[in-house]
Amino acid sequence: MQRTAKRSLSLLSLFLMASCGGGAPQVPQHTHLSGEPLFTEEWKPNTHVQGTVLVAPLECPSTKEDTEQPFLNNAISSTWGTIVGLAGEVPDLPNVTGTGATQSWQAEGGRIYLHGQFIQTQNAKTDGIALISQKTFDKTKPITLEAQASLTEGTFGAFLGITLIAGEGDFREIGYRQNDQGVFINRLTPCEETTLMKRAEPINTFRLEYHPTYGWKYFVNEVLLLSEPLDNLKAGLSRDPHVGIYITGAGPNTWAQGWVGALKVWQ
Domains located in the chain, CATH noted: 2-18+36-266 (2.60.120.200)
Provide the b/e sequence for 107-129 (b: ≥16 CB within 10 Å).
beeebbbbbbbbbeeeeeebbbb
Q: Which of 260, 230, 264 is nearest to 247 (CA)?
A: 260
Cα separation, 118 vs 109, in Å, equals 27
Q: What is the pTM of this model?
A: 0.86
Q: What is the pLDDT of residues 140-191, one digit of tens each?
A: 999 999 999 999 999 999 999 999 999 999 999 999 999 999 999 999 999 9
Cα separation, 6 vs 246, in Å, equals 14
Q: What is the pLDDT of residues 95-133, one digit of tens each?
A: 444 344 455 788 888 999 888 888 776 665 677 889 999
